[in-house]
Amino acid sequence: MHLILFGAPGVGKGTQAKLISKEFGIPQISTGDMLRDAVRQKNELGRKASEMMDHGHLVADDLMLELIKGRISKPDCVKGLILDGYPRTFDQAKAFDLLLDKLDMPHLICIEINVPDSEIINRLESRRICEACGTDYNLITNTPPSDLICSKCDGNIIQRKDDTKETVIRRLKVYLDQTAPVKEYYRHEDHFYSINGLKPIDEVKTEIFKILRG
């Protein structure tokens, strides 16, 4: 199966992606990780990507597609994958479908996790993180120690700069502007599903697993 999870920051995509990866034995493929790996390896694609990014440009669609083609052809993707950060535009979505056809691979299953903006703002504004080990806390659902010292590693617990209310509102607008055309493209496909992300994590997981098991 080839899967993409839609949803604004804070809806729980990362949590669900980890659960799906573990249950179905498929990797989560991050375009950011792919780009960093290619640049580190200093291969031809990596050099081209590095040159574009060094000049402040987005990586060209055809180059991004070549990177993804190489990644999804690796043995760990035989059973499928979860895409993270791609496709981001209508043209990328169309090109990726054509690539899947060419490689005789199944088209994407698209699952949207829906959470109202007001709840997303509440979730992210309440989020705290250990700056040393990355452990997540939440002022509402997983209260950090009163001294704001991580219970796992004794690191400092902080609020990330992009979790303030003003920044979250900006992030939601960017997400809507960037993702709406891609979501509309996939909405007309046979395998587009929208689920309620307000439910507890286990219930959201169960609903997603049911969809994936078909």
Tell me the per-residue pLDDT of 71-95, one tens digit each, with 9 for 90 and over: 999 999 999 999 988 898 889 999 9
Point out the catalytic residue in the list 123, 128, 171, 183: 171
Residue 62 lies in a domain: no
Residue 208 lies in a domain: yes
Task: Please state whether beta strands 192-196 and 108-114 pair in parallel, antiparallel, or not at all (unpaired).
Answer: parallel
Residue 165 lies in a domain: no
Instruction: Kindly state the average pLDDT of the residues 137-159.
Output: 94
pLDDT at 57 over 90: no
Point out the catalytic residue in the list 36, 48, 88, 199: 88
Domain that includes residue 203, residue range = 2-26+79-115+173-213
Res 31: pLDDT: 82
Dump pLDDT digits (tens) for 90-103.
899 999 999 999 99
Point out the catalytic residue in the list 13, 71, 128, 183: 13
Res 139: pLDDT: 93
CB-based contacts of 173: which residues, under 8 Å, 6+ apart?
none
**160 part of the active site:** yes
The CATH number of the domain holding residue 179 is 3.40.50.300
**171 part of the active site:** yes
**13 part of the active site:** yes
Residue 73 lies in a domain: no
Residue 91 lies in a domain: yes
Point out the catalytic residue in the list 40, 160, 170, 173: 160
Residue 45 lies in a domain: no
Point out the catalytic residue in the list 71, 123, 127, 128: 127
- Give the count of domains, the chain: 1
Residue 158 lies in a domain: no
3 state SS of 57: coil
Res 21: pLDDT: 95
Token pair, residue 192, equals 């587009």
- Paired strand residues for 176: none
pLDDT band at 159; cut points 50, 70, 90: very high
Residue 186 lies in a domain: yes
Given a contact cutoff of 8 angstroms between Cβ atoms, the answer to whether 199 and 97 are in contact is no
Residue among 172, 157, 173, 180 nearest 121 (CA): 172
